[in-house]
């Protein structure tokens, strides 16, 4: 958290909150001049379906709050007036309006998406900690390929892997990761939605194969072909809501939960950790 930043107030509202919807509409209108985006691919198109299905799956097991949009009045560095910012979370567990656990969902074939998700969760937790005792964090990964996503636990020390039947247990001090198979979500998906997710997995497997080929070539000292724009992996929400986050951008180096509202790039390079 930036020491120069001041937080006057933090709260949670529903995704259909009128002020939030108005802010989304204004932000979407402001970005219309940027023109149409290139086709982001099957993973991107299916990511919102995975998020909705995971939220339904979680809701059958945990007490989820309807309020899952963080709203905060912040004083950005170098400014004199407080500004209202929003951050839409994938799910929030809690009772009586108080969050006890914040949840991020990733539909991805990119191993680096785990680190990005944990970073996003940590920043959201720090913000909510301005008002509530620090909620715990859970990352739910739905693998967008066939061969699985390799999670480097050595580089993610402190990360606790949990099983579905352990979600009700008390979290430790660090973040938790649940790798949820797509088969667990079938009862929350229509046939058309499942087909879209399967197309995303097919695309993700192709990207995984290409990544592994590049890594093998690099290890052997062979020239490595660049991945074209069609090989980008994107696993985040669609729609104007995505433009209104303040801790969920594509560049970790510049990203901050208190950064100015910026439009999320329509897709990441494969090497970017979405």
State pLDDT tens for residues 227-256.
443 344 333 333 333 333 343 333 332 233
The arithmetic mean of pLDDT across residues 1-11, rounded, is: 74
Give the pLDDT of residue 170: 72
The arithmetic mean of pLDDT across residues 126-143, rounded, is: 94
In a domain, 55, yes or no: yes
Which two structure tokens, joined as six digits, stand for 74? Answer: 């912040």
Statement: residue 12 has pLDDT above 60: yes
CA dihedral 158, 163, 169, 175 (to 10 degrees): 20
The arithmetic mean of pLDDT across residues 8-28, rounded, is: 94
Statement: residue 272 has pLDDT above 90: no
Q: Please say whether the beta carbons of 22 and 140 come within 8 A.
A: no
Name, in order, each residue with C-beta under 8 angstroms of 22's C-beta and a sequence gap of 6 or more. Answer: none
Report the number of secondary-structure helices (H) and strands (E) in the chain.
4, 8
Nearest to residue 240, comparing CAs of 207, 266, 268? 266
* CA gap 85, 257 in Å, rounded: 9
pLDDT digits (tens, 9 = 90+) for 33-87: 766 677 889 999 999 999 999 999 999 999 999 999 999 999 988 888 999 999 9
Give the pLDDT of residue 240: 34
Q: Lowest-confidence range among 23-37, 131-145, 156-170? A: 23-37
Q: In which element (H, E) is residue 197 found? A: helix 191-219
Cα–Cα distances in angstroms (integers) from residue 259 to residues 2, 86, 120, in the given order = 10, 11, 13
* CA gap 29, 23 in Å, rounded: 10
Q: How many domains does the chain have?
A: 1
In a domain, 87, yes or no: no
In a domain, 251, yes or no: no
The residue among 166 and 230 whose pLDDT is bigger is: 166
In a domain, 272, yes or no: no
Give the pLDDT of residue 232: 41
* CA gap 48, 15 in Å, rounded: 14
* CA gap 1, 123 in Å, rounded: 8
In a domain, 141, yes or no: yes
Could you give the percent of the chain with pLDDT greater than 90? 61
In a domain, 53, yes or no: yes
Nearest to residue 10, comparing CAs of 92, 85, 122, 76? 85
Distance of CA 267 to the CA centre of its chain: 13
Give the pLDDT of residue 77: 84
Domain range enclosing 122? 42-64+92-238
In a domain, 184, yes or no: yes
Give the pLDDT of residue 17: 97
User: For residue 102, what are the β-bridge partners?
Assistant: 92, 137
Statement: residue 265 has pLDDT above 70: no
Give the pLDDT of residue 242: 34
In a domain, 177, yes or no: yes
The residue among 267 and 87 whose pLDDT is bigger is: 87
Distance of CA 61 to the CA centre of its chain: 21
The residue among 134 and 147 whose pLDDT is bigger is: 147
Reported confidence tier of residue 11, pLDDT bands at 50, 70, 90: very high
Q: Please say whether the beta carbons of 231 and 192 come within 8 A.
A: no
Give the pLDDT of residue 225: 61
* CA gap 67, 64 in Å, rounded: 9
């Amino acid at each position: 958290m930036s020491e120069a930043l001041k937080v006057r107030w933090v709260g949670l509202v529903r995704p259909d909150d009128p002020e939030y919807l108005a802010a989304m509409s204004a932000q979407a209108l402001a970005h219309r001049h940027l023109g149409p985006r290139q086709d982001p691919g099957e993973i991107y198109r299916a990511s919102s379906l995975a998020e909705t299905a995971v939220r339904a799956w979680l809701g059958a097991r945990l007490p989820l709050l309807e309020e899952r949009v963080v709203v905060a009045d912040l004083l950005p560095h170098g400014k004199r007036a407080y500004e209202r910012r929003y951050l839409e979370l994938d799910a929030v567990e809690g009772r009586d309006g108080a969050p006890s656990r914040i949840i991020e969902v990733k539909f991805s074939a990119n191993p680096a998406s785990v680190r990005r998700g944990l970073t996003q969760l940590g920043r959201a937790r720090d913000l909510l900690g301005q008002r509530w005792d620090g909620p715990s964090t859970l990352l739910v990964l739905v693998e967008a390929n066939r061969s699985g996503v390799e999670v480097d636990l050595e580089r993610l020390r402190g990360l606790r892997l949990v099983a579905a039947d352990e979600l009700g247990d008390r979290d430790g001090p660090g973040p938790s990761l649940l790798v949820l198979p797509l088969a667990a979500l079938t009862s929350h998906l229509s046939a058309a939605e499942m087909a879209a997710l399967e197309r995303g997995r097919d695309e993700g497997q192709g990207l995984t194969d290409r990544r592994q080929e590049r890594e093998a070539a690099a290890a052997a000292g062979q020239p490595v072909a660049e991945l074209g724009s069609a090989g980008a992996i994107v696993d985040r929400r669609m729609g104007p809501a995505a433009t209104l986050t303040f801790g969920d951008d594509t560049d970790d180096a510049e990203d901050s939960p208190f950064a100015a509202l910026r439009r999320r790039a329509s897709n990441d390079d494969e090497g970017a950790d979405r």
